[in-house]
Amino acid sequence: MRMAKQEISDSLRAERARYVGLNGGSSAKHEEAKRWLPGGDTRNSIFWGPFPIYVSRAEGSKIVDVDGNERVDFINNMTTLILGHRHPAVIDALREQLERGVSYPAPTPLVVEWGELMCERVPSLDKVRFVNSGTEATLNAIRAARAFSGKTMLAKCEGAYHGNHDAVQISVTPDVGLAGDGESPDAVLMTRGMTPRSADEIVIMPYNDLENAEQVIRTHADELAAVIVEPINGQCGMVPAEPEFLEGLRRLTSDLGILLIFDEVIAFRASRGGAQEYYGVTPDLTCFGKVIGGGLPVGAFGGRQDVMSMWDPSQSGGPQVSHAGTFNGNPMTAAAGVATLRELSVDVYEDLGKKGDYLRQKLRDVIAEIEAPMGVTGAASLFGIQATPEAVRDYRSYATNDSDLLEMVFMGMMNEGYLLSSKCAGNVSAAHSYAELDGFVEAFGRVLERAWGSRGS
């Protein structure tokens, strides 16, 4: 049952007004923030209008703002907090390390254990290096691929976010009208301030379209250092790669001698060994972030021995590729990361996957009952609510989302006591109960009923 654009706008205005009324303290804090931060913001991914909530504390599955509003958290700091907020094992590890010191000018035993845990879990990791963000992870993995291959070009999928550096801030959310043919998209710079030359060192391929992706890759094979891909596309609402797409990329890159990089900054949630275990596809290099740091700033990249050896400072003449960082492998993050990975057993991942399946199906049932022009995407513990009747499998189908309808759902869920990303993507943590999943679904139904019910139908 479709709604007219004006009806969606009216429902959105009503949800916004309710939100403003519930969050006076956050509104005041945001006005204060604007005195010191551009627009009151220092992190675009958690900004939304008319103002974001300001958090005072969190525990388990719940987050509390400065107005005292308690919400069940289904974004978990953009998929980071897989165990939920303030998990006892993580807090104990941080407290213990805090008593010993927060950072040192030398490595600690913890970082060795952290590396061992990562390499033991992930099929592709012979060696790993730690950094402080997913952005740093992809930056360094791409640099490694270029150094190893002697080539400079990169291929990525349209609509994929791989961090905030010039090599990949291209065709992330392009205007479809400026992005050319969907079968072989044009490279579109994401933001002002980038050198136009950035677009000359990358080629864009469609997601989940092996035939056309292969054509793009083969056309540029002699120039390509690497192909980078998210096994689960977070930018487009947790859209999973179709197995044959990843399998085809692996065969193709192997045949052509091109390195394949998996960006598992989000997708490492898929199973104990990450998305590559989940799909049974082994890349040459993998990038990590989010969950591996237990809630602290983190990133990592690793893979084949011959590629990772380029970073080895103990070899004659030093490393072939330089890489420093004051907080790489810092002991506080290592402590939280080790504690988190220890907790993430096969059973925990199986439970997360079952909860994710349960939630996605229940949301689809509500959408079908109300006959809303919407859908649900996701895999494992990840999900996305799509405000389009189209089946979302790539950027072009994702771009058909009704932005007002998405915002209406986001605001409505906030008003109901549930926190998602502002694009209505979310994830299940180990702290969530089935009662909370059911509560989320019921709240989603109420939000849609307020909109569709207002039509008198």
- Give the separation between CA 131 and CA 325, rounded to whole angstroms: 7
User: Tens digit of pLDDT for each residue in 79-122?
Assistant: 999 999 999 999 999 999 999 999 999 999 999 999 999 999 99
User: What local confidence, expressed as pLDDT, does residue 2 receive?
Assistant: 63
User: What local confidence, expressed as pLDDT, does residue 455 receive?
Assistant: 46
Query: If residue 342 lies in a helix (H) or strand (E), which one and from where to where?
Result: helix 331-343
pLDDT value at 184 more than 90: yes
SS3 content of the chain, % helix, strand, coil (to 5): 45, 15, 40
User: What local confidence, expressed as pLDDT, does residue 454 receive?
Assistant: 53
Query: Is the torsion defined by CA of 389, 394, 399, 403 positive or negative?
Result: positive
DSSP code for 113:
H
pLDDT value at 457 more than 50: no
Dig out the tokens for 101 from the structure: 């010191």
Q: Strand, coil or helix: what is 204?
A: strand
DSSP code for 399:
T
DSSP code for 237:
T
User: Tens digit of pLDDT for each residue in 278-316?
Assistant: 999 999 999 999 999 999 999 999 999 999 999 988 988
pLDDT value at 446 more than 60: yes
356 pLDDT band, cuts 50/70/90, is: very high
Angle of the 346-370 helix axis to the 434-453 helix axis, nearest 10: 20
Question: What distances in angstroms separate CA 169 from CA 40, 42, 78, 118, 193, one per listed residue?
Answer: 23, 18, 19, 27, 11
The better pLDDT of the pair 45, 422 is held by 422
User: Tens digit of pLDDT for each residue in 116-175?
Assistant: 999 999 999 999 999 999 999 999 999 999 999 999 999 999 999 999 999 999 999 999
Average pLDDT, the chain: 95
Active site residues: 161, 263, 290
- Please answer whether residues 357 and 432 qualify as being in contact, where contact means their C-beta atoms are separated by less than 8 angstroms: no
CB neighbours of 378 closer than 8 A, spacing ≥ 6? 232, 237, 238, 239, 240, 356, 360, 384
How big is the CA angle at 212 (ends 217 and 282), to the nearest 5 degrees?
Answer: 60
- Give the separation between CA 197 and CA 219, rounded to whole angstroms: 20
